[in-house]
Amino acid sequence: MTGRRLALIIAGLILIGLLAWSLGGRLEQAGDSPPESPVAMAEPAMSSEMPRIAATLFFPSANGLVLVPVLQEVALAEGLVPQGREILTAQLQSPPPPYESVIPEGTQLRAFYITDRGDAFVDLSFETSAPHMGGTSAELLAVYAIVHAVTVNLTTIQRVQILIDGREANTLAGHVDLRRPLEPDMSLVQEVSNPR
């Protein structure tokens, strides 16, 4: 099975899961519980009065070798760009226990926009280029946590380029080439339904 086909299958499963979750949310208001998700579910961190969606965020596995997809509720926004901002803001925050983040603490989303070609640009604050504990592997997972958070949740986006402080950057911390938009790499995502 090719990597592209596998990525399409995973994206399809996530989309089905999101649709099921959305329907489950309506049933929950009537007293029923939502269906189980194929990925880990984080505790909601928002008021139940605010409209929310389930987004798939990515955190390193316990061994630090791959990313684990984790469903987490984020604010519902009107439009692709505002929704992308909500998803990325959630991805940059401290993850729910027992997960840890590979994105340096203090990293902020400065801007998010999408080109006519469907490429997304994620502009992060300078903190993201702080030294990564774990070197190349941690930097790779940090980059692809961002790429996957965008491409898995916003399926019309195929590639993501990361900027730092409004400028193109060669790397985050010396290892991963950021000079061009990156496609998702699902070989970096753990496939099991119970990641820990």
What is the C-alpha to C-alpha distance for residues 165 and 123, in angstroms, rounded to an integer?
6
The candidate with the shortest Cα–Cα distance to 188, out of 5, 42, 18, 3, is 3
What is the C-alpha to C-alpha distance for residues 12 and 78, in angstroms, rounded to an integer?
22
Helix (H), strand (E) at residue 168: strand 167-168
pLDDT of residue 79: 93
What is the C-alpha to C-alpha distance for residues 71 and 82, in angstroms, rounded to an integer?
19
Q: What is the DSSP string of 63-93?
A: TSSSEEEEEEEEE--SSHHHHHHHHHHHHHS
Per-residue pLDDT tens, the chain, 196 aa: give them.
565 665 566 666 565 555 455 544 443 333 343 333 345 545 445 455 779 999 999 999 999 899 999 999 999 999 999 999 999 999 999 999 899 888 888 999 999 999 999 999 999 998 887 665 557 788 899 999 999 999 999 999 999 999 999 999 887 776 788 999 999 999 999 975 544 4
β-strands 67-75, 40-41: how paired? parallel
What ranges do the domains of the chain cover? Answer: 41-188
